Amino acid sequence: MAEKIRIERVGKDFDVDGRAMVAISEIDLSIAENQFVSIVGTSGCGKSTLLNMIGGLDEPTRGRILIDGQEVRGPGRDRGFVFQSYTLFEWMTVEENIRFALEKSALSKAEKSEMVAHFIEAVGLSGFEKAWPKQLSGGMKQRVAIARALVYKPSILLMDEPFGALDAQTRGMMQELLLQIWTDHRVTCLFVTHDVDEAIFLADRVVVLGSRPGRVKRDLMVDLPRPRAFDLVTAPEFMETKRLILQDIREETLKLMAAGAH
Amino acid sequence: MPGHPFRLRELFRLRKEIPKPLYTASGFVLPAVLILLWWAVVQAGLIRPLFLPGPGAVLAEGWRQLEKGILLSDAAVSIYRIVAGWLTATVIAVPVGILMGNFRIFEGLLSPLVSTLRYVPVVALIPLTILWAGIGDGQKILILFIGTFFSQVLMIMDNVKNIDVSLIRAGQTLGFSNAEILRRIILPAAAPAIWDTFRITIGWTWTYLVVAELVAASDGLGRRIMDAQRYMATQTILFGTLFIGLLGLITDWLFKKIGQRLFRWNEGRR
């Protein structure tokens, strides 16, 4: 498969009280087109920072990020972003929120309406077109955010712990919904989470980041068949993958605790 | 609470909703008790009317002013000054506050100065304002402006800063320019909080009215109170004070109602 994203010796330092703190020492990754990659790691491993840099919301201190061979120089409409906080525009209805994302697109008015309606249906929000975000539950809000991030047809979807604030039941439903949408609208997907089950369940590949400074600790393929259903989490292959990742994370957490960071 | 009788202890649960009529009615209890107490104390002859005239005398004073036409003309001139002073402050504070809340350079440039000026006692500035703005309405409006502006600008800066930064980032990922994000995301997101600031700050403008009309004024609600001081017309002082309070209450209510209309999306879940 063609290479979609290339992360070349990328490092990131943050300025903490005038001193440079290394958040990410050096990361090299190559992500194939339409691959679903989960990124997991303990807090402070730089997983969100990495995602922000790919999204163009943050700049690497070292190295470079290439998308389709072009160096990232800021946000762009080839990438959709879903944040952990709901980030809906609360003064707009569900429909208006999604349509707002199409404002920079060259589509005709009718085509835009069609796209908006299509994605409202894809995320299962038919009937809520005119609702205000404040009237929606957390899961519904995040569905609007996903529709908004996909409606302008980006080729990459970046998600930063999008289901982190949801309860366990809603989260499970959202994972299945996301896989359904991803099956229907193939994009390269980068999914940051600290939930190991979630990471494996969704992805073709899980990248485990080590902490302080962040780097790739393990990079493993998830060869579980698709379509996946919720009972996959009890399959022996799933459990084995999970064991490996949990072991990595445990090691990193112990290191952090020894360093007095927790 | 339909279905079962209402129990007293339900009023004292942490953060619990109580029936709406009860909530509204409770707001009248304390004023009613105070007025009753006031009336009783005067009626019993415990305080001389010079120090505290009774509610009846104060109401009669209000009626007298209304009949002579001074009440409405005083109110009109004072309201004009309030609106002019507050609007001038607001028209400048909104853009300046937005700049300070979004660009660190403007915050760095302005906040030390504004924070200092905020503590300058407005009364002390009366002589200077007369020197600068004369003795006409301009001077009163200037006093009201000074009393309102500096705190207002800092509050608006905070209103703008308090919006979720991810909203700005979401706007960036959707391809919007800085100017578009400012106008179409930051401003509407901060609007309800800014409106609350309007509501609070116009209350402050009202409290500065007497200061504004302290010197070199011939009319206005504040002036009437200051004049009454000279003749020991206690009922005029009391009526004027209560009347300003009433107008303030109406202003507050209006802002609240308009805010609910403007920001219907901001209501909680139904």
Does the beta-carbon distance from B266 to A85 stay under 8 Å? Answer: no
pLDDT: which is higher, A134 or A43: A134
Answer whether B119 touches A (CB < 8 Å).
Answer: no
Q: Across all residues in chain A, what is the average pLDDT? A: 91
Q: Per residue in A179-189, pLDDT tens? A: 999 999 899 99
| Mean pLDDT on B122-126 | 90
Answer whether B125 touches A (CB < 8 Å).
Answer: no
Asked whether residue A232 is assigned to any structural domain, the reply reads: yes
pLDDT at A132: 95
The CATH number linked to B221 is 1.10.3720.10
- Give the rounded percent of residues in chain B with a pLDDT score beyond 70: 97
pLDDT above 70 for A209: yes
> What is d(CA A191, CA A182) in angstroms, rounded to the nearest whole number?
12
Total number of domains in chain A: 1
> What is d(CA A121, CA A117) in angstroms, rounded to the nearest whole number?
6
- Phi, psi for A126 (deg, rounded to 5): -60, 135
Asked whether residue A97 is assigned to any structural domain, the reply reads: no
> What is d(CA B170, CA A138) in angstroms, rounded to the nearest whole number?
17
**Diameter of chain B measured on Cα atoms:** 75
Q: Per residue in B24-75, pLDDT tens? A: 999 999 999 999 999 999 999 888 888 999 999 999 999 999 999 999 999 9
First-to-last C-alpha distance (Å) of chain B: 18
Sign (positive or negative) of CA dihedral A232, A237, A243, A246: negative
Looking up tokens 């002579």 gives B68
pLDDT at B269: 43
Asked whether residue B55 is assigned to any structural domain, the reply reads: no
Range of the domain at B239: 62-263
pLDDT at B270: 38
Residue to mutate among B174, B186, B187, with most A CBs inside 10 A, is B174
Asked whether residue B184 is assigned to any structural domain, the reply reads: yes
Q: Per residue in B188-216, pLDDT tens? A: 999 999 999 999 999 999 999 988 998 88
- Give the rounded percent of residues in chain A with a pLDDT score beyond 70: 99
Range of the domain at A201: 3-78+154-258
The CATH number linked to A210 is 3.40.50.300
Asked whether residue A217 is assigned to any structural domain, the reply reads: yes
What would the 3-class secondary structure string for chain B be? Answer: CCCCCCCHHHHHCCCCCCCHHHHHHHHHHHHHHHHHHHHHHHHCCCCCCCCCCCHHHHHHHHHHHHHHCHHHHHHHHHHHHHHHHHHHHHHHHHHHHHHHHHCHHHHHHHHHHHHHHCCCCHHHHHHHHHHHHCCCHHHHHHHHHHHHHHHHHHHHHHHHHCCCHHHHHHHHHCCCCHHHHHHHHHHHHHHHHHHHHHHHHHHHHHHCHHHHCCCCCCCCHHHHHHHHHHCCCHHHHHHHHHHHHHHHHHHHHHHHHHHHHHCHHHCCCC
pLDDT at A16: 86
Sign (positive or negative) of CA dihedral B121, B122, B125, B126: negative
How near does any CA of chain A get to the CA of B145, in Å? 31
Residues A216/A29, Cβ–Cβ less than 8 Å:
yes
Asked whether residue B167 is assigned to any structural domain, the reply reads: yes
Residue to mutate among A91, A137, A161, with most B CBs inside 10 A, is A91
Asked whether residue B52 is assigned to any structural domain, the reply reads: no
pLDDT at A261: 57
pLDDT at B112: 95
The one-letter amino acid code at A34 reads: N
pLDDT above 50 for A7: yes
Residues A28/A3, Cβ–Cβ less than 8 Å:
no
pLDDT above 50 for B227: yes
Sign (positive or negative) of CA dihedral A250, A254, A259, A262: positive
pLDDT above 90 for A19: no
Residues A49/A214, Cβ–Cβ less than 8 Å:
yes
> What is d(CA A80, CA A224) in angstroms, rounded to the nearest whole number?
26
pLDDT at A20: 85
Report CA Rg, chain B: 23
Asked whether residue A144 is assigned to any structural domain, the reply reads: no
pLDDT at A21: 87
Q: Per residue in A20-79, pLDDT tens? A: 888 888 999 999 999 999 999 888 788 999 999 999 999 999 999 999 999 999 999 999
Joined tokens for residue A190: 């980068």
Concatenated DSSP letters of A40-58: EE-TTSSHHHHHHHHHTSS
Joined tokens for residue A54: 């790919």
Asked whether residue A87 is assigned to any structural domain, the reply reads: no
| Mean pLDDT on B111-125 | 92
Asked whether residue A163 is assigned to any structural domain, the reply reads: yes
Length of chain B: 270
Give, in degrees to the nearest 5, the angle at Cα B47 between B41 and B49.
105
| Mean pLDDT on A210-218 | 84
pTM of the predicted structure, to 2 decimals: 0.87
pLDDT above 80 for B244: yes
| Mean pLDDT on A93-107 | 94
Asked whether residue A54 is assigned to any structural domain, the reply reads: yes
B4 pLDDT tier (thresholds 50, 70, 90): low
pLDDT: which is higher, B158 or A256: B158
Answer whether B175 touches A (CB < 8 Å).
Answer: yes
Asked whether residue B116 is assigned to any structural domain, the reply reads: yes
Joined tokens for residue B45: 């002859």
Q: Which residues of A touch B167 (CB under 8 A)?
A: 87, 89
Does the beta-carbon distance from A75 to B175 stay under 8 Å? Answer: yes
Q: Which residue of B has its CA nearest to A104?
A: B175
CA A262 to the chain's CA centroid: 26
pLDDT at A135: 93
ipTM: 0.90
Residues A179/A202, Cβ–Cβ less than 8 Å:
yes
Asked whether residue A220 is assigned to any structural domain, the reply reads: yes
From A56, A81, A104, residue closest to B170, measured CB to CB: A81
Collapsed DSSP state (helix, strand, coil) of residue A116: helix
Total number of domains in chain B: 1
